[in-house]
Amino acid sequence: MSGGQYVTYVQDLEQEPFDAIDLVEKLAWRMTGSAQTINDPVSLKTRFEEEIGSLQMLCDQFQSKIDTLEKQMNDEKKDYVQKLQRLHEKNSEAIDKMKQVDHTMQSVSTKVVHLGDQLESVDQPRSRAHDAYQLMQHFDEFLSDQPLNSMIFTDPDKLLESADLVHKLYSISQELNKDKFATVQARIAQRYKVVEDLLIEEFVRSQRDEKKMAEVAKILSEFKGYSGCVDRYVEFLCQSIHPRGDGAEILADCLQLCRTQQPRISAIFPSPHTVMQKLVLNLFTGRMKETINARLRECKETDDHEHYLRDLASLYSSTLKMCKELEKLHVSPDSAFLSTLTDSIFQRYIATYCTEELKYLNDQCSSLLSRFYESKKHIKKQVGGGLHELKRDVTARLMNVETYGGETFVAEDVAISILQETKNAFNRALQLCDKEELPRHVENIVDVLLKYLYGDHLDYAVETGLAGISLAESKTEPPAYFFSVVAKCTSVILLMIKQFEDPIFPIIKDTIAEPSVAKKWQQSLRSLESKMSLGLERQLNSIVGYVKFLFSEQKKTDFRPESQQIDIRVSPQCQIVSRFLTNQVAAMELGCDGENLEALQTDLANRLFIFMLTHIKQFTYNSTGAVLLLCDVGELRTLVSKWRVQSAFAQWESLQALTNLLAVLPDQVNETAHSSLLENVDRQLIHDFVRLRTDFRSIKNFQI
């Protein structure tokens, strides 16, 4: 086998995945020289046998190599196991030696600690004696009249050592007899003051070196001037706060200053809580108080009560939020510290808040209503009370009513403005009133809301609308604007109910003010609803009264025309009535909806039915007049069919059928009287209608 063939065999055999059939195909392809047909199968067989022999030889060679490698692997495995055992034995020996060393170290450390204690017990008295000796030497310097020449006093680099020494000497000197050691006490006190001033100067000079500042502050904390040093440092920090904006910005600046300086103060001062407390105290009593007072004073001086109340609530709320953030910084161990500072700023404003709020609300609501009535060029009249209602009803019966050109005197934008003002007041009350005072203050705000929005606006509009509805039988078309009054009042009432549900009720729930407020609210709404119902009742009476007036112009001869050659059409009176009712119902649908609209239209349909029934019975009818009557009734029936009055519409169906009794031929009366449309009609009423025919006596065999 040649080298090239060997390599080819190896490549084919090592191919992944191995496919024996593919290998045979490759061998056949090589043997035939890629020919499409086999011309000499015997030669091909011989070649295959040779290839098989070559593969067998190759297999034997590989097996020999495998055996050699396996033997080599077993030998190396034995050597590796032997080495591993030797290493394990060495590791065990090392562990034993480590234990011995550890035991020895423990024994030595015990002896060292004992020796250290002995050395310390010997060194401490010696060190104390040396310190006492040094103090005595320096004290002796102060006893002499000579200047202080020791290096510790003259070398500026040893200021901290000098300060520690002077503090000890000062403490000792204060315990000596003043009469005997007055001079030395004075010299030490003078040096004490000089060192203290030098320490403060060094502290100020080292503003960018926290480590140096901490060293100075630690020594200086033992001196009397330490509090002055803290004051100067706090004043230096407060100088970075400048008033700007409407006051809220300075609160954010103060909070940010505390946040950024707390780590620095903790790193510098030995008692950081005291310094942080001093910083917060200066901020509250200084920049914050000045800015807040200036802002609120400016609003007061300009009589801008709206901005005064808004800014007061905003600033107070922002200050409380700031205090919560400061509590996270643990600026003071006293839990009442921040609340006390807040009260020191806002207490005098909160004390008068309720009075200011109610005064502003009264003025604002009164101004809104006054501007509205002035825009309408209307001067309000006194309404309400029994005497006014009696006067109103007497005037209405005399038909001397004032309609103001159909003006409703209800402005939804004014109502929304008043509701918004009171909503803002409720929100401010939640922020500025304490829990005990809040319910009563909310009740007072509700009283203002009811006084102006209900009493001075909605109730006045309804009363004015009532006064514009005549109680006498109208001979002129009554206006339909009361429906608009009802529509607008209903919209405002829905807004009021929404405000009562939120925020009023959640505030007063389960408080002493809840029964009182709920009673006032319900009484006001029920009174307004009652007056609107009365107005709607009078409006319906006015509508029916005008219809009666229009139909009163019909004469008996209109339904007994002598000539048969007339136009069969709706009467002029009924045409006017139809147009009038269409306009009234359109206004009604704009002013009412839902069940209220259905009830109104049903009531109107029933009243018109009763009136038409009575009106028809006033006349007698020949065949032509009956047809004319059918036209009128059909016109009204068609009009009623467009309303939401399915129950009342059945009456008009029966009225149409009753009217038909007057128009049919005499021999068809019996059949018509027993039609399905008249099954539920009183038999006596049917008889009464038949008697309205001019030819009633000529009808034979009429039976009910």
The tokens for 534 are 């009365």
Interacting residues of 432 by C-beta distance below 8 A, sequence separation 6+: 312, 313, 316, 350, 353
Place of tokens 């035939």: 32
Among 357, 359, 358, which residue's Cα sits nearest to residue 313? 357
Amino acid at 314: S
Residue 365 is predicted with a pLDDT of 94
- Cβ pair 670, 703 in contact under 8 A: yes
Distance CA 246, CA 507 (A): 30
Interacting residues of 619 by C-beta distance below 8 A, sequence separation 6+: 554, 556, 558, 559, 560, 625, 692
Distance CA 251, CA 271 (A): 25
The tokens for 428 are 């401010």
Residues β-bridged to residue 693: 621
Amino acid at 541: N
Q: What is the mean pLDDT of each run of 10 residues along the chain (704 residues)?
A: 56 68 74 66 78 81 88 90 90 90 84 73 57 55 61 62 68 66 68 76 79 83 80 85 76 89 88 89 90 89 91 92 90 88 92 93 94 88 55 49 75 93 93 91 94 92 85 77 89 92 89 92 92 90 91 86 75 92 90 85 92 91 88 92 83 89 84 82 86 80 60
DSSP string, 346-386: HHHHHHTHHHHHHHHHHHHHHHHHHHHHHHTT-------SH
Name the pTM for this structure: 0.69
Phi/psi for 318 (5° steps) reads -65, -35
Residue 216 is predicted with a pLDDT of 81
Radius of gyration of the chain (CA): 56
Distance CA 589, CA 699 (A): 46
Distance CA 99, CA 553 (A): 133
Buried b (16+ CB within 10 A) or exposed e, 363-387: ebbeebbeebbeeeeeeeeebeeee
The tokens for 141 are 């310097």
Residue 201 is predicted with a pLDDT of 79
Q: Please count the other Cβ atoms lying within 10 Å of the Cβ belonging to residue 10.
A: 12
How open is the CA angle 119-121-127, to the nearest 5 degrees? 90
Residue 512 is predicted with a pLDDT of 92
The tokens for 43 are 């030669």
Burial of 307 (0-12, 13-18, 19+ CB in 10 A): middle
Question: H helices of 352-500, where?
Answer: 353-375, 386-397, 412-432, 438-449, 459-467, 481-499
The tokens for 119 are 């050395």
Question: Which strand (E) or helix (H) includes residue 470?
Answer: none
- Cβ pair 654, 682 in contact under 8 A: no
Domain ranges of the chain: 1-39, 40-141, 157-349, 356-549, 558-698
Question: Which strand (E) or helix (H) includes residue 131?
Answer: helix 41-143
Residue 312 is predicted with a pLDDT of 92
Q: How far from 49 is each of 45, 54, 360, 662, CA to CA, in Å?
A: 6, 9, 119, 129
Coil, strand or helix at 693: strand
The tokens for 16 are 């992944």
Provide the sign of the torsion angle of the four alpha carbons 268, 273, 277, 278, taken in this order.
negative
- Cβ pair 425, 445 in contact under 8 A: yes
Q: How is residue 2 annotated by DSSP? A: -
Provide the sign of the torsion angle of the four alpha carbons 550, 552, 554, 559, taken in this order.
positive
How open is the CA angle 516-519-524, to the nearest 5 degrees? 125
Tell how many helices (H) and how many strands (E) occur in the chain.
27, 0
Coil, strand or helix at 240: coil
Q: Please count the other Cβ atoms lying within 10 Å of the Cβ belonging to residue 337.
A: 18
The topology under which CATH files domain 558-698 is Methane Monooxygenase Hydroxylase; Chain G, domain 1 (1.20.58)
Residue 183 is predicted with a pLDDT of 65
The tokens for 358 are 């109610």
Residue 396 is predicted with a pLDDT of 45
Residues β-bridged to residue 621: 693
The tokens for 154 are 């003259």
**HSE, side-chain direction, 13 A CA sphere, residue 203:** 25
Residue 527 is predicted with a pLDDT of 92
Residue 174 is predicted with a pLDDT of 67
**HSE, side-chain direction, 13 A CA sphere, residue 17:** 2
